[in-house]
Structure 1
Amino acid sequence: MTRSARTALWAAAASAAAVLTLRPLVVSSGWVVGALGVVCAVAGAGLLVRGLFHRRGLAVAVQALVVLGVLVVLFNGGTALAGVVPTPATFSRLAQLAADGVQVVQRYSVPAVDLRGLRLLLVSGAGLVAFAVDLFAVTLRRPALAGVPLLGVVAVPLALTPGGSSAIAFVVAAVPFLVLLAGDRRPAPRRSASGGGRSVVGVTAGATAAVALVAAVAVPAAVPDLDERPLTIDTGPGDTIAVINPILNLKASLGARSDATIITYQTDEPDPAPLRIVTADVFDGQTWAPSTGADIPRSQRVQDGLTQAPGLSDAVRDASVVRTTSIAVRGLDQTYLPLPYPSVRVDIAGDWLFEKDSLNVVGDGETTRGRSYTATHLEVDPTEAELRAAPREAPDDVQERYTALPDSLPQVVRDTAVQVTQGSTDHYEQAAALQRYFRSTGGFTYSTTAPNDGGADAVATFLNEKSGFCVQFASAMAVMARSLGIPARVAIGFLPGEEVADGQTSGGRWRISAQDAHAWPELYFDGVGWVRFEPTPATRTGQSPAWTTPAITSPAAPSVSPGAALPSASATTATATASTSTATTSAAAAQAEPTGWDRFAALPWGWILGALLLVVAALTPRVSAARLSRRRWARVEDRASSAEAAWSELTDRVHDLGLSWPASATPRQREAALGGLLQAGSPAGVELQRVRAAVESARFGAAPARGGVLLDERTDRQSGRLVRSQVDVVVDAVAATRPRWRRWRARLFPMAGVRRFLDWWDAD
């Protein structure tokens, strides 16, 4: 395989690895096949054209056509002839899909649903990255420039994904690029014993890159995590800006560092409800995020009135009280507008559009900072009868969308939901039982410290530790409700805040700080719509909504742990099945105990991986050099091969001591270069002369000097071992003349094996 072909394959690997770092930005993985397919197509086209025609310019043109061809095949929508020949309609469709994808990127946060427009952007982006990397690394032979498009791709998830990219994804993306750089070695002058020499810039650069990669993985693991709490920025005395992340990571807190006022409002509602910013309905096991969809029509302006809240019947709406709340935003910078739910009209300047499914209000190029507006909204106060009367099944679209759960959700979460709601007769009683479990009977406490596990088992960990903040309480109740078939989502916003005494105005005046940031679950009951529940303990939230407490409840269930069984509602049944119940309880309790796999998964893998990489980086030079030396001496079969092995060994080891010579230097020139460092007539000088004479004899057939070790009657292999000891004598004498730090570097980090790998890479 030629050097060009190897570079092309590594360029494709680097492009594919960079593209895969985008996976956390999208809910599903359907786009990955197309993205990797176009990367392989670009690399294959380049290899084929360069191999057959040896024309770089032609390869570039063919690769560009391949990118276009893949897009036409995947996204033509029936407009291409025979599915592959584009028509004007094909280009119009691609342009429209690209525009749709750009709107999704601008409008919605991650993780996004990979609609066809966004999928087109991802696949085409992968093709362009593969094209650019191949162009720089193979065609122009400037691999360092290939880092520009690769960095552009890798930086996107680092900036947008909660928690950033994983260490594994970073390493997988970085290694192929470092291999590309390792193949780009250029001559550079270096002082050697003979006054000139072969460049070792590539060796130094490779070692530096390896150390930098290990440090990039290990150092962040030692730095405290930056959680997803509200970002507060002090810009001056009395001026604080808060940004609430609309993506809830289950290891993150909504607690804030600043008590500065960010919102004030005046309302005629006696007991204000929380102000809602946004709802998150997509749950992947670790995060809740707002779903994405089609672009919001500009006709859906809040100034013209919002549509009726989803699921709210006319009867409940007519029984609701119309309220007015005037809001002034002082230090909150958001795209979503904080509002009471459900609002029916908002008087505000600028372009603000609402989503029909959620009534989230989004600014079209607008932000909330410095805004003053008035919201007309309903004070919906559903009755227990109305909630109980809701149909068991919500409409199909609501049921399917808002009960979806990841397959990775631990079974213990579903089991706990069933046990907590045992004996409930309808969804309302189940929801009330879940809330009661978190607020009172379950033994949970509110804490600003996140559970240790922020991964796929975050909800199960919270149920086991029974301590967390509003994000954990809201998420756990929403997930458990979904597992019972109750549509649920998580709302993000602010608690009502603190009432401010003001005798000059009518109606209550309230202030909200970033510390009032809050999350709560909303459950769907057809006829009433989305209903707020409050599982977070009263120490944080105060009294729960009146409608969440049934007037007549089943006997209170005792506290349970995840997987623990509840007692039967009937004493008679419990007596009859006592032994079975005991066995079930024991089995469930055993299930709640961490398994061997749980303990394995809970290990600090970031630290472990970083330590392993450090160990590998430290040992690789020494191991590779030792392996090279072992293989070199194992191949000794006669006196000639032992002489060559000794000469190669001597060359590598003095090279590590900072002494080298041109490849064209003769053995006598090399002997002269080293002999100048040794005392005349010393044992090392004599051994150096004997090794030089042996290699000349092997190469040129000249008889070595009488008395040379290679002229005795010992076997060739024995002679080889003796010559190896001669090398040790020479190297030790040369090392004594070198600085101490060079001796230690040569001893701990011999680079012979690394140099041999780079020599192989340079081979064409």
Structure 2
Amino acid sequence: MTRSARTALWAAAASGAAVLTLRPLVVSSGWVVGALGMVCAVAGAGLVVRGVFRRRGLAVAVQALAVLGVLVLLFNGGTAVAGIVPTPATFSRLVQLTTDGVQVVQRYSVPAVDLRGLRLLLVAGAGLVAFAVDLFAVTLRRPALAGLPLLGMVAVPLALAPGGSSAIAFAVVVVPFLVLLAGDRRSSRPRAAGGGRRSVAGVTASATAAVGLVAAIAVPAAVPGLDERPLTINTGPGDTIAVINPILNLKASLGARSDATIVTYQTDEPDPAPLRIVTADVFDGQTWAPSTGADIPRSQRVQDGLSPAPGLSDAVRQAAAVRTTRISIRGLDQTYLPLPYPAVSVDIAGDWLYEKDSLNVVGDGETTRGRTYTVTHLEVDPTEQELRGAPQQAPEDIQKRYTALPDSLPQVVRDTARQVTDGSTDHYEQAAALQRYFRSTGGFTYSTTAPNDGGSDAVASFLNEKTGFCVQFASAMAVMARSLGIPARVAIGFLPGEEVTDKSWRISAQDAHAWPELYFDGVGWVRFEPTPATRTGQSPAWTTPLVPLTPVPSSSAGAPAPSTAATAPSATASTATSTTSAAAAQARPTGWDRFLALPWGWILGALVLVVAVLTPWVTASWASRRRWARVGDVSSSAEAAWQELAERVHDLGLSWPASTTPRQRAAALSEFTEAGSPAAVELQRMRAAVESARFGAGSSPSAGAVPGTVLVASAQSGRLVRAQVDVVVEAVAASRPRWLQWRARWFPMAGVRRFLDWWDAD
């Protein structure tokens, strides 16, 4: 394998590792296969063309065609001939997907669902990075420049992903890049006649890079961590920008420490409801996100009035009071517009469009920062009778869409929902029982710390740990409602905030909140509040039944069933607590679960670092043992001793050109040994032995031995042993800086130099 081929493979490894760092930005992993396939296609095209035709320029052209070919193959949508030959319709589709992907990037925060066009951007980005890295490292032979595209890709998750990128991902990208740099230094350094060793400066640079990599990974792990606060970014006094992520990961928090005012409003509504920003209706097991459908028509401008709220009957709409709220945005910067629900019209400047099925309002190139607008909206206060009287089966499209759950959802979640509602089939009673379970009877507590499990069984983990923040409460109730056949989704927005003057309110970043909305035909989407009162205050009036719930069977025979509204919650509470104990036991992690829950990323990272630190010492020890194991006579022992001495004093910062004779080298080392000392005697013995082995003349290996020497050559064979080398090395090390002594002992570079010699071999 040529040096060019090895460089191409390391370049592909660095590109593939950089692509994997983007994983935290997207909820799903479907795009990873295509992105890595793109990297392989670019690297493979370059290897084949350079190997067969020996033309670098031709390889660049073929690699560019490979990028286009993979995009056509994966995203042609049936417009390409035989699936690979593009047509004009293929290019139009690619352009449209690119436009859609750019809009997704501009509109949504991370982690994003695999939305329309986003996958194409990820795969195309992987191809461009792989192409650029290969171009710099292989074609132009400037591996240092390959760090630019790698840095550009790695910087994206560092800047956008909650908590940044992982230490393992960083190391996996940096290691192949360091190998590229090492190969560049070896190929650019002239070698002396007969071959020579790298200078101490080159070895020190490699060691410095390795130590820097270790420090970059280990130091952050040792420093006390900071809370992840994705909501608020302080850009200066009085200039707070708050960004609400419309994609809720059950491991992320909407909590924020900042009490800076970001929204103020005046309303004629006596008891304002939360301001809703966006609704998320797609749940994959660990993340809620807005559904993706067709683009919003430009005809759906909020200034022209919004469509009636889905599911709201004419009778309920006519009975609802019409309210007016004037909202001023002071520190909120995003594309979704905070509004009371359901809005009727919005008087605002700019292009703002609404979605008919959710009434989410999105800016078409507009943001909320600095906006002041007036909202006309309905104050819908459904009655218990209206909710109880709603059909038990929602319209088919709503029922199918808003009750969908992932197959990976743990069975304990469904079982707990049935046990909490105790077999009731009335959707209103089920919803009220779920809310009461989370707010009072289930033993849950509000905390800004998320459950440890942020994976596919995050809801089950929350039900077991019984502590979390609004995201956990809202998600758990929505998921359990769906498991009972009740259409549900999660809304994201702000609590009403603090009333500062009559009819004037302020909202701070601390008021960010999430809550579930359940669908009741005729009333539409109804807000419930499972988060405990310590955070949210009193729950909506319509969520607390005045009519007793279905009597719950008593635990003792003959006990009277509750007959009043006051006793119903108490009876249900005790039953709910007892019936959910089994579910909680099922949700409790087993030994295997606890084993899987260990921080394997950090554990594997630590193992990699340990291996990286120990590898030079192990390699050097193995090479030395192998060298001495091959000794068979006096001549081979002399060469082994001389080579061992050269490598070990090289680690101490002493080296010489390949043309230097043994006598000249021995004279240079004599400066570090005292005349007549055992080290000086052993040095001359080794010098004489190697001269005798190479030239057939010189002093006998045993000549000059002095009485009392601890380590002597074998009197019978005249062979040198490793212990004699130790005497000389110890004498030389005594005069060298202490850090060099430490490095030579615990981090010998002989193994690293052997690897770099292999790199030079064509």
TM-score by length of 1: 0.88
1:676 and 1:610, CA in 2 relative to 1: closer, same or farther beyond 3 A? Answer: same
Contact 2:331 2:370 in 1 (8 A): yes
Question: Equivalent residue of 1:295, what SS?
Answer: coil
- CA drift of 1:582 comes to 14
- CA drift of 1:276 comes to 0.7
> Which residue is 2:47 aligned to?
47
Code of the residue aligned with 1:638 in structure 2: it is D
1:704 and 1:44, CA in 2 relative to 1: closer, same or farther beyond 3 A? Answer: farther
CA deviation digits over 1:54-77, x for unaligned, max 9?
221111111111212222222333
Question: Equivalent residue of 2:518, what SS?
Answer: strand
> Does residue 670 in structure 1 map to residue 668 in structure 2?
no
> Which residue is 2:107 aligned to?
107
- CA drift of 1:226 comes to 3.3
Q: 1:303-322 counterparts in 2 under 5 A?
A: 303-322=303-322
CA deviation digits over 1:454-482, x for unaligned, max 9?
44444333323323322222122122223
Contact 2:420 2:579 in 1 (8 A): no
- CA drift of 1:178 comes to 2.5
* Distance in structure 2 (CA, Å) of the matches to 1:156 and 1:510: 37
> Which residue is 1:61 aligned to?
61
Of 611, 619, 623, which aligns to 2:614? 619
- CA drift of 1:361 comes to 1.1
> Which residue is 1:119 aligned to?
119
> Does residue 761 in structure 1 map to residue 730 in structure 2?
no
Q: 1:2-21 counterparts in 2 under 5 A?
A: 2-21=2-21
> Which residue is 1:514 aligned to?
509
Question: Equivalent residue of 1:13, what SS?
Answer: helix
Code of the residue aligned with 1:550 in structure 2: it is P
Contact 1:218 1:610 in 2 (8 A): no
* Distance in structure 1 (CA, Å) of the matches to 2:261 and 2:452: 31
* Distance in structure 2 (CA, Å) of the matches to 1:523 and 1:111: 25
Code of the residue aligned with 1:729 in structure 2: it is V
* Distance in structure 2 (CA, Å) of the matches to 1:585 and 1:480: 13
1:123 and 1:259, CA in 2 relative to 1: closer, same or farther beyond 3 A? Answer: closer
- CA drift of 1:757 comes to 1.3
Code of the residue aligned with 1:749 in structure 2: it is F
1:296 and 1:585, CA in 2 relative to 1: closer, same or farther beyond 3 A? Answer: closer
Question: Equivalent residue of 2:184, what SS?
Answer: coil
CA deviation digits over 1:259-297, x for unaligned, max 9?
343322222222211111122233344443334444333
* Distance in structure 2 (CA, Å) of the matches to 1:583 and 1:726: 78
* Distance in structure 2 (CA, Å) of the matches to 1:540 and 1:582: 22
Question: Equivalent residue of 1:185, what SS?
Answer: helix
Q: 1:456-467 counterparts in 2 under 5 A?
A: 456-467=456-467
1:369 and 1:587, CA in 2 relative to 1: closer, same or farther beyond 3 A? Answer: closer
- CA drift of 1:523 comes to 1.6
* Distance in structure 2 (CA, Å) of the matches to 1:226 and 1:85: 51
1:85 and 1:487, CA in 2 relative to 1: closer, same or farther beyond 3 A? Answer: same
Contact 1:323 1:377 in 2 (8 A): yes
* Distance in structure 1 (CA, Å) of the matches to 2:430 and 2:701: 100
> Which residue is 2:566 aligned to?
none
CA deviation digits over 1:429-471, x for unaligned, max 9?
2211110101111122233444444444443333233233222
Code of the residue aligned with 1:225 in structure 2: it is L
1:169 and 1:74, CA in 2 relative to 1: closer, same or farther beyond 3 A? Answer: same
Code of the residue aligned with 1:91 in structure 2: it is F
Q: 1:173-322 counterparts in 2 under 5 A?
A: 173-186=173-186, 198-221=198-221, 222-228=223-229, 230-231=231-232, 233=234, 235-236=236-237, 240-322=240-322
Q: 1:338-349 counterparts in 2 under 5 A?
A: 338-349=338-349
> Does residue 496 in structure 1 map to residue 491 in structure 2?
no
Contact 1:162 1:249 in 2 (8 A): no
Contact 2:419 2:580 in 1 (8 A): no
> Which residue is 2:708 aligned to?
none
* Distance in structure 1 (CA, Å) of the matches to 2:229 and 2:337: 19
Let me know the Cα RMSD of the aligned residues. Answer: 3.2
Q: 1:686-705 counterparts in 2 under 5 A?
A: 686-702=681-697, 704-705=699-700
- CA drift of 1:677 comes to 2.5
* Distance in structure 2 (CA, Å) of the matches to 1:554 and 1:439: 17
* Distance in structure 2 (CA, Å) of the matches to 1:112 and 1:733: 63
* Distance in structure 2 (CA, Å) of the matches to 1:448 and 1:585: 24
- CA drift of 1:209 comes to 2.7
Which consecutive residues of structure 1, in runs of 5 or more, have no partner in the other structure? 191-195, 503-507, 558-565, 575-580
- CA drift of 1:243 comes to 3.3
- CA drift of 1:15 comes to 1.2
1:107 and 1:711, CA in 2 relative to 1: closer, same or farther beyond 3 A? Answer: closer
* Distance in structure 2 (CA, Å) of the matches to 1:151 and 1:183: 19
Question: Equivalent residue of 2:77, what SS?
Answer: coil
> Which residue is 2:480 aligned to?
480
Code of the residue aligned with 2:492 in structure 1: it is I
- With 102-111 and 148-157 compared, the bigger mean Cα shift is at 102-111
> Which residue is 1:563 aligned to?
none
- CA drift of 1:633 comes to 1.9
Of 514, 521, 528, which aligns to 1:526? 521
* Distance in structure 2 (CA, Å) of the matches to 1:582 and 1:80: 60
* Distance in structure 2 (CA, Å) of the matches to 1:320 and 1:369: 31
Contact 2:229 2:255 in 1 (8 A): no
> Which residue is 1:727 aligned to?
725
> Which residue is 1:577 aligned to?
none
CA deviation digits over 1:511-532, x for unaligned, max 9?
2222222211112233322211
> Which residue is 1:89 aligned to?
89
* Distance in structure 1 (CA, Å) of the matches to 2:234 and 2:744: 51
Contact 1:227 1:251 in 2 (8 A): no
- With 286-295 and 138-147 compared, the bigger mean Cα shift is at 286-295
Report how many residues are paired: 736
CA deviation digits over 1:236-263, x for unaligned, max 9?
3x66443334343434443333334332
Q: How many percent of aligned residue pairs carry the same amino acid?
A: 82
* Distance in structure 1 (CA, Å) of the matches to 2:226 and 2:105: 27
Code of the residue aligned with 1:743 in structure 2: it is Q
* Distance in structure 1 (CA, Å) of the matches to 2:517 and 2:580: 32
Code of the residue aligned with 2:731 in structure 1: it is A
- CA drift of 1:183 comes to 1.8
* Distance in structure 2 (CA, Å) of the matches to 1:442 and 1:602: 25
Code of the residue aligned with 2:735 in structure 1: it is T
Code of the residue aligned with 1:179 in structure 2: it is V
1:714 and 1:554, CA in 2 relative to 1: closer, same or farther beyond 3 A? Answer: farther
* Distance in structure 2 (CA, Å) of the matches to 1:475 and 1:78: 38
* Distance in structure 2 (CA, Å) of the matches to 1:80 and 1:461: 47
> Which residue is 1:550 aligned to?
545
* Distance in structure 1 (CA, Å) of the matches to 2:247 and 2:25: 12
Contact 1:41 1:66 in 2 (8 A): yes
* Distance in structure 1 (CA, Å) of the matches to 2:737 and 2:641: 24
> Which residue is 2:567 aligned to?
none
- CA drift of 1:552 comes to 2.8
- CA drift of 1:426 comes to 2.4
Question: Equivalent residue of 2:82, what SS?
Answer: coil
- CA drift of 1:49 comes to 1.2
* Distance in structure 1 (CA, Å) of the matches to 2:327 and 2:73: 51
CA deviation digits over 1:315-371, x for unaligned, max 9?
433332222211122332232111001112100111111122321112223222222
- With 740-749 and 656-665 compared, the bigger mean Cα shift is at 740-749
Of 743, 748, 751, which aligns to 2:749? 751
- CA drift of 1:613 comes to 4.6
Question: Equivalent residue of 1:643, what SS?
Answer: helix
> Which residue is 2:440 aligned to?
440
* Distance in structure 2 (CA, Å) of the matches to 1:55 and 1:633: 46
- CA drift of 1:302 comes to 0.8
> Which residue is 1:562 aligned to?
none
Contact 1:249 1:287 in 2 (8 A): yes
Code of the residue aligned with 1:624 in structure 2: it is T
> Which residue is 1:373 aligned to?
373
Question: Equivalent residue of 1:500, what SS?
Answer: strand
